[in-house]
């Protein structure tokens, strides 16, 4: 492996080799470990930012709003399902009453 590559590209190659189980030299492993440490630090800084990302905040608000709408729609559906069941029972009762009525001959 050539040392003339950019550090990021070299680190990614070392990472690729290590994840494939190819043994690295002590120097290569030290280089990879240093890159991992730098990546962890960078990621940690991103995750610990005190000011929330406005896009993320907007997305969270949209998700909360959508969840509220889904909850409202669910309650309305459950209410309608209950009303439909009551109507089905009423219709079934009316059909039974009609079936039991005497048939009149109107001639």
Tens digit of each residue's pLDDT (9 = 90 or more) over 59-84: 999 999 999 999 999 999 999 999 99
The band of 57, judged by pLDDT with boundaries at 50, 70 and 90, is confident
Instruction: Pick the most confident of 11-20, 33-42, 82-91.
Output: 82-91
Q: What average pLDDT is seen over the chain?
A: 88
Cα distances from 97 to residues 22, 64, 88, 103, in angstroms, run: 83, 50, 14, 12
For 95-106, give one letter per residue: b (16+ CB within 10 A) or e.
Answer: eeeeeeeeeeee
The domain limits of the chain are 1-50, 53-100
**Residue 19 in contact with residue 10, Cβ under 8 Å?**
no
For residue 16, pLDDT beyond 80 = yes
What's this model's pTM, rounded to 2 decimal places?
0.44
Of 41, 38, 3, 37, give the one whose Cα is nearest residue 13. 3
């Amino acid at each position: 492996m050539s040392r003339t590559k950019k550090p990021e590209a070299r680190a990614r190659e070392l990472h690729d080799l290590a994840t494939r189980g190819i043994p690295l030299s002590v120097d290569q492993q030290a280089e990879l470990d240093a890159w991992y440490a730098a990546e962890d630090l960078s990621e940690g800084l991103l995750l610990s930012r005190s000011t929330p990302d406005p896009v993320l905040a907007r997305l969270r608000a949209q998700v909360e709003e959508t969840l509220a709408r889904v909850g409202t729609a669910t309650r309305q559906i459950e209410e309608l399902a209950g009303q439909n069941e009551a109507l089905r029972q009423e219709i079934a009762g009316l059909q039974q009453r009609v079936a039991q009525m005497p048939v009149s001959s109107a001639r």
